[in-house]
Structure 1
Amino acid sequence: MKKIIIAATFLALSFSMSACSLTDKGSLKKITEGKEFNAWEMDLAEKLESYGLEDDEKEKLQKIDEECDDIKDNDYKTQLLTAKKLVKLSAQIESRLEDSAKGLVEKLDKTDVPYASEDDKKKLSEYSETISDMIKKHDFSNYKDISESFSKLVEYSSTKLTGLDVNIVQFDYTNYPTVRMYVDVKDSSGNVVTNLSPNMFFVSQKSVANGDFQSVTIKNISMLDQKDALNIDMVADTSSSMEGERLSSAKTVMSTFLNTVQFNVGDKVKLTEFNSYIDKSGVFTSDVNALNQKIFSYVASGQTKLYDTLIYAVQDVSGIPGAKCVLAFTDGEDVGSYNSASDVVNVVSSYKIPVYIVRIGDNYSANDPELMQITSASGGEFKYFSSFGMDMGNFYNSIYTGMKKYYEIEYEMPDPTNYTDKRDFNVYVKGDGVGGSADIETNSGNDFFNTLLGNFLRSYIEDMNSHSYNQLASKIDDTVSPTDETGLKYQMSKQVTGGFANVVSESLMSYSVSSITVVDENTIKLATDEDYDVILDRKYSSFTGDKLNQLNNILYRNSWNVGPDSQIRIWERVNQKPEYVLKKGSDGVWRFSQYSVDPGSNATIAIYDAVTAY
C-alpha cells in the first residue's frame, strides 16, 4: 500500500513539475516572442550593446550573459527568471535613453544655432527626426553615435570658433537698402583664405529693442575676383621736383603698371595729374592707349600738392561702385597743399579706401613716415620704386590680392527707414574647424545719405567746371518750380551755367553729413559740412578788408610785385554748412529738393596761395 501511495505521490509531483515546466515555457515564449531563449538573449544583448551603455549597465548585461552560459536548454524556470532580469534591464536602459533623447530634442528647440548653414540645419532636422523615431519605436540602436554627432553639431552651430582673422573693410551703399559689405579673411599665418563657401558666412545686427544680435538675410556672397572689376585712381606727380629722370621713370613705371591691369575683366583706371593744380578731367576707362598717351604727355612744373590730391582722389573714387583704390606715383615731398598729412590720415581712415604710394627718387626722405602712416591707415601699402624697378607685376598682384581677394557680402538692410540710429554688425566666418568674427558700429542711414551727398556734390563740381547742367539733372527734385529761389533746380542751374565766370576750377575736397532730421517717410533734412578748393582770377583792386590782408601776406611771402590792375590767381579753401531738403520720389529715389539753410549764410573762405596771372 505504501508503495502505491509513494508511486502516486511521485506521479503527482512529476505531473505538477511537468505542468510548472510547461507554464514556465509558455511564459518564456511570450517574452521571447516564440524565439529560442539563447537566440533571443543574444539578439537582445547585441541590440542593447548598440545603444551605447553606461559602465554599470554593461556590468549587469555581462553578468546576465554569463548566467545564460550555465542554463540548460530545458531549464525553462531559470531561463524565465533570467529573461525577466534582461527585460527589466532593457526597460531601465530604454527609459534612460528615452529621457536623454527627449532632452536632446528639447535642447535643439531651445538652443539658438545662429551659425548653422542650410546644410547644417537640414542635418540637425534629420537627427531630430531620427531620435524622435527612436523614442516612438523604443529602439535606440546607434543612439550614442547619433546623439554625440547631434550634440557636436548643435555646439558647432551655436559657438564661435577661432583661428581666422576677419576684418570688415568697406561698405557700399550705392543700391541701399541693398548693402554690399567687403570682408577680408586671413588664416593664422596671414594668408588670404580663398576656399570659403557662402554657407560659411553669418551676418547679424544688434537689435535696438533688446540688444540681442539677430541674423541678417544674406542675398549673395562671392569673392571679388570672381565677378567685380577693380577701379584704380592713378595719381601722377608732375611737379617741378619730378623733372628729368624721376618723371621719366614715373612715366615708364605707370605705363608698365597698365600692362598688368586686368582690363579684360572690367578693371578701369583714371589718371589724376597734379602739381600746383589738380587735373580733374580724367575719367575711369579701360582704354589703355588713351591712358598711355596721356601719361607720356606729362611735363614737370609747379608745386607738389600731394596731400590735397590724395584727399581729392579718395573722395572722387568713393563714388564708384565696387572695389576701388588710389595708387600714387610721387617723389613724396608735399609743397603747397592746404591739407596736412594728418588731414589725409583722417580722411582715408573714414573712407577705408586703400591708398598705395610708390615713392620715386631717393631710397628715403623725411616725409616717408607720414606717407607710410597714410597708407597704413587706409589699408594700402607704401613702396620704394627702387625696390622693384620696372617689375610692376608683383606690385599689381599685391594690390590685386589685397583688393580682389575680399569677400563681397550682399544683404538687405533690416529696418531700412531707420536713418538715425547707429547699428552694430557682426560678421562670423566658419571654416573647417576654425572661425573668426569682426564687429563694427555703423550709422547706415548716415552713410547712405553721405553717399548720396557725395554723388550730388561731385555732379555739381563736374557741371560747374564744364558750365553745363547735365550731371545734376537726375539728382535734383524736378517737381519744385524752376523759379523757386530756394529750390536746388533754380540755384544749381544758375550757378553751373555761368554764375561764377571768374572761377578757373573748383574741387570738392571733403564732405560729411552732420545730422539727419526725418520730417516724414518721404522728406528729410540733411545738414552737411563741405570743403571746396577753388581757383579763381580777380583784379588786385577788387580785394578789400580781410581778404586783401590775406592776399598781401601771401604775395609778400612769395615776393610778387603787383599793381591795382594786376590779375591775381588765388587758391581758396571754402567751407560751407548748408542744410538740404531731400524728397523721395514715386520711384523710391531720394533727390535734392531745396535749401532749408542757405550755404552762403555760414560760409568761411581762406586764401592760402596766390600768383600773378598776367
Structure 2
Amino acid sequence: MFCGNCGKKLEDGDKFCGNCGKVQKQDNDTSNSNLEKSKIKPKSNKKIVLSLLGVGICALVFLLVFTFSSDKIKKLFSSSSETLVNDNGGSMNSKVSKPADSKISINQIDSSNFPEISVYFTAEDSNGKVLKNLTKNYMKIKETNSKNSVEEEILDLRQMNLNQPLSINLVMDTSDSMKGNKIDIAKTAARNFINSVQFNSGDSVELITFNESVSIAQGFTSQKDRIDGTLKNLSTNSETAFYDALNTSLVETSEKNGPKCIIAFTDGLDNKSKVTSEYVADLGKKLGIPIYIIGIGDDVDTNVLRDISEKTGGYFTHISDVEKLQQIYSDIFKKQKEQYILKYKTKNNVRDGIFRNVDLNLISERYVGSASESYLPKYAINPNVDPSTGYSSQYEMTGVERAMYDYQYNFVKAVNGYDFSVLSPYIDANGTLYNMQQKLIESYKKQSIQEKLVYYSIESTKKVSNDEYQLVVYEKFYITYDNKKPTLMEYRNIYTIKNTSNGFKVSDMPDLKVLNSTSVNYNF
C-alpha cells in the first residue's frame, strides 16, 4: 500500500502517511472487504446445493418410472384415482381409501346340472340398494368339502332380468282360523301378487293350500287365469298342517329347473302335520330351495318358522295384519328377480352325498362382502319311506330299495315318452312284469295318457329267498287322459324283486290295489 500524495510505502492499516501526514482513503476497510467476500461465498454454495438436490430428485423420479409399472405407481401414491363399481351400476373415478361393506346373501345353490353349479345371490349396499353391473372379476368363490378347499373358476356371472324364468310355489293357509274377512283379504293379496308375475317370460306358479290336509289347488302353470280362478274359490276349514304343506311344496318345486322359491304364510300353530319342522328345514337345505315364511298374528311360533327359513336360505317375516301380505309377496318376488346367477364347474365331480360349503366373496375398490352356504351334489328326493320318519338318501339305499327307486322314476319317463326301452333295463327280462309293462306303455300311447309320480313309499319288505324279495309299496300318481283334467290316483301294490346276474330287478307285480281316485286341478 502506498501514499496517494507522496508515494511513500505504507503499512497495511495506516490511516495517514508518516512521511507527508496525508490522511489515507480506506477501501471500505479490510473487514468490510472480508465481509463482502463472506456474503458472496455462501450464495455460491447455496446454488450448488440446490443444483445437486434437483439432480437427485430427477434421478429418483427416473428410477421410479423404470422400476414400477403405472399400476404400481398408482398404488404407491394414495392420491391416485381408481375405477370403481358405484351404487347405480357402471363405473366412476373416485378417491376411496377403504372399501365399504356390502351385504351378500346366497339365496339358492342349484346342483341339478352337477358338476356345473349355479349360485343365486343378492348384493346390496348398507342402505339395502342393489349393487348392479358386478362382473366375475369382482368375485371369488371357494368350495370346501371334508378333504380339501379349492378356489373354483367362475364360468359366468350375470344378473337376472325379467326374461329369466322363475318358479314360485305359493303356500296359503286355509285353516279355520282364516275364516271370514282374513281369507278374503288373503285371496285378494295373492291375486294382486299374481298380477306382478312375469308369466309371459316363463315364470310359473303353483298354489298349495292347507288346513288339516294339504291340497295342490293348482299345479305349476304359466297361465295366470288358472291361478286366479283357483284363488277365487278357496274356502276355510279345520286345523293346521303347515309343515306337511311345506313338505309337499318342496317335493313339487324340486322338479323345476332354474331359480325357484317357496313363499308361504300361516296364522296359527301347526297341530296336524306328520312331518316335523326339523325335517322340513333339513329337506329344504338338501334341495337348495329357499323358503320365505310370513307369520300372521300372535299364534305363530316365530322361533320355529324363523329356523326353517334361515336354514333354507330364505327369511321369516312376522306381520300383525293380513293386509300387508301383498307387499311382502312383491318384495320377495323383487328380491328373486334382482339376484345374480354365478356359475362354476366344481373340480370335485364325485356325487358323494356329502354337504359341501361354498364361500363367496366380493372384492372391489368400492365394496367388499362375503357369504357362505352349503349344498349337496345333485340331491334327489327318494320318498321310499313314510315322511313321518323322514326320507332316506338315495346314497344309503340297499340294492332292493335302489331297484324300486329306479323302476318308479323310469316308469314315469317311459310312459310320458312312450318308450319302453327307458324302463326295460330296470325290469327282469324273464319276469312276467316285462311284457305286461311293454303292453301298458303301448296302450298309454294310443290313449295319450301321461303320468306324474307324486310320492311312493316302501311299507314293508319280505325276504322270500336268498335271491327274491316282496315289497308292499304305496304309490301316488297324477294321471291325465287325452289332456283332460288330471286324476290323482293312489295305489298299494305288491312287487317281486329278484337278484339277477345283472343286479336287482323288478320281476313281477302279483297284486295291484287302487285306494283312491280324485279329479284335481293340475297342469303338468
CA distance in structure 1 between the partners assigned to 2:421 and 2:242 by the alignment:
33
**Secondary structure of 1:220's match?**
strand
Letter of the structure 2 residue corresponding to residue 218 of structure 1:
I
Instruction: Return the structure number with greater relative CO, CA threshold 8 A, min gap 6.
Output: 2
- Tell me, in whole angstroms, the C-alpha distance in 2 between the residues paired with 1:255 and 1:472: 35
- 1:342 is the counterpart of 2:278: yes
* 2:323 counterpart of 1:388: yes
Does residue 134 of structure 2 align to residue 196 of structure 1?
Answer: yes
1:258 to 180, 184, 194: 194
**8 Å Cα contact 1:463-1:496 kept in structure 2:** no
- Output the CA distance in 2 between the equivalents of 1:489 and 1:415: 38
Q: Deviation of residue 308 (structure 1)?
A: 0.8
Q: Does residue 238 in structure 1 map to residue 183 in structure 2?
A: no
The one-letter code sitting in structure 1 at the alignment partner of 2:159 is M
Residue matched to 1:185: 123
1:311 positional shift: 1.2
Residue in 1 aligned with 2:367? 434
Contact 2:426 2:506 in 1 (8 A): no
Q: 1:173 aligns with which of 107, 111, 120?
A: 111
The answer to whether the Cα contact below 8 Å between 1:485 and 1:491 also exists between their aligned partners in 2 is: no
Question: 1:288, CA displacement in angstroms?
Answer: 1.5
Which ranges in structure 2 are unaligned for 5 or more consecutive residues?
A: 1-42, 85-97, 384-392, 396-403, 444-451, 459-472, 478-489, 510-524
State the partner residue of 1:370.
Answer: 304
| Separation of aligned partners in 1, 2:199 and 2:406 | 25
Quick check: 1:332–1:368 contact (8 Å CA) kept in 2? Answer: no
Give the corresponding residue for 1:480: 425
Is 1:148 aligned to 2:86, yes or no? no
Counterparts of 2:232 and 2:407, CA distance in 1: 29
1:320 aligns with 2:256: yes
Instruction: Tell me by how many angstroms 1:181 deviates.
Output: 1.0
| Separation in 2, partners of 1:371, 1:86 | 73
Cα deviation code 1:27-71 (max 9, x no counterpart): xxxxxxxxxxxxxxxxxxxxxxxxxxxxxxxxxxx999822999x
Tell me, yes or no, if the aligned pair for 2:218 and 2:226 is still in contact at 8 Å: no
Aligned match for 2:247, one of 301, 304, 311? 311
Going from structure 1 to structure 2, the CA distance change for 1:321 and 1:260 (only over 3 Å counts) comes to same
Q: Which residue of 1 aligns with 2:220?
A: 284
What is the aligned partner in structure 2 of residue 137 from structure 1? none
What are the equivalent positions in structure 2 for 1:399-548 lying under 5 Å apart?
399-417=332-350, 419=352, 423-440=356-373, 442-444=375-377, 447=379, 460=408, 470-471=415-416, 477-478=422-423, 480=425, 482-484=427-429, 507-508=454-455
1:429 CA drift (Å): 1.1
Letter in 1 for 2:429: D
1:368 positional shift: 4.7
Report if the CA contact (8 A) 1:460-1:472 is conserved.
no
Quick one: distance in 2 between partners of 1:366 and 1:460?
A: 38
TM-score, normalised with respect to structure 1:
0.50
Distance in 2, matches of 1:255 and 1:241, equals: 20
Identity %: 22
Of the three residues 95, 101, 124, the one matched with 1:163 is 101
Instruction: From the superposition, tell whether residues 484 and 289 of structure 1 become closer, same or farther in structure 2 (CA, over 3 Å).
Output: same
Tell me the secondary structure at the aligned position of residue 335 of structure 1: coil
Partner residue, 1:34: none
* SS of residue matched to 2:113: coil
Residue 414 and residue 251 in structure 1: after superposition, are their counterparts in 2 closer, same or farther (change >3 A)? same
Per the alignment, do residues 429 and 93 of structure 1 end up closer, same or farther by CA in structure 2, a change over 3 Å counting?
A: closer
Rounded to whole Å, the distance in 2 between the matches of 1:408 and 1:399 is: 17
User: Which residue in the other structure is 1:547 paired with?
Assistant: none
**1:488-546 CA deviation, whole Å, 9 max, x = no partner?**
98898899999xxxxxx9854999xxxxxxxxxxxxxxxxxxx98979xxxxxxxxxxx
Q: 1:595 to 1:233 in 2, by over 3 A?
A: farther
> Are 1:67 and 2:24 matched, yes or no?
no
Indicate conservation of the 8 Å contact 2:251/2:381, yes or no.
no
Higher helix share: 1
Q: Are the aligned partners of 2:353 and 2:379 in contact in 1 as well (CA < 8 Å)?
A: no
Report the CA distance shift for 1:254/1:497 in structure 2 as closer, same or farther (over 3 A): farther
Q: Describe the SS at the equivalent of 2:214.
A: coil
Cα deviation per residue 1:342-378 (whole Å; 9 max; x = unaligned)?
A: 3333333444433234456xx3115454334433443
Report the TM-score, using the length of structure 2 for normalisation.
0.58
Could you tell me how far 1:395 is from its partner in structure 2?
Answer: 2.1
Alignment RMSD (CA, Å): 5.6
Show CA shifts across 1:402-452 (max 9, x none).
Answer: 3222210022232535757765543221233321233445553x5479899
Q: Deviations over 1:464-495 (max 9, x none)?
A: 8xxx9634878985562754379998898899
Per-residue CA distance 1:211-269 (angstroms, 9 max, x = gap): 5644x332221122354222111123334454444433333332222223232333211
Change in CA separation of 1:485 and 1:595 when aligned onto 2, cut-off 3 Å: farther
Q: Which amino acid aligns with 1:317?
A: T
Q: Which runs of at least 4 in structure 1 moved beyond 6 Å after TM superposition?
A: 62-65, 89-92, 448-454, 456-459, 461-464, 472-476, 485-498, 531-535, 571-574
Shift of 1:327: 2.3
CA distance in structure 2 between the aligned counterparts of 1:231 and 1:258, rounded to whole angstroms: 12
Q: What is the distance in 1 between the residues matched to 2:44 and 2:217? A: 93
Tell me, in whole angstroms, the C-alpha distance in 2 between the residues paired with 1:359 and 1:147: 51
Does structure 2 conserve the Cα–Cα contact (< 8 Å) formed by 1:534 and 1:573? no
Q: Which residue of 1 aligns with 2:24?
A: none
Displacement after TM superposition at 1:270 (Å): 0.9
Shift of 1:174: 2.6
1:29-178 aligned at under 5 Å gives the runs 66-67=47-48, 101=67, 127=70, 145=73, 148=76, 163-178=101-116
Matched letter for residue 345 of structure 2? E
How far apart, in 2, do the equivalents of 1:497 and 1:165 lie?
Answer: 56
With over 3 angstroms needed to count, the CA separation of the structure-2 counterparts of 1:395 and 1:448, relative to structure 1, is: same
Q: Which runs of 5+ in 1 are unaligned?
A: 1-61, 71-81, 105-125, 129-143, 499-504, 512-530, 536-570, 582-592, 601-614
Q: Deviations over 1:72-98 (max 9, x none)?
A: xxxxxxxxxx9xx999x6998599769
1:219 counterpart residue number: 155
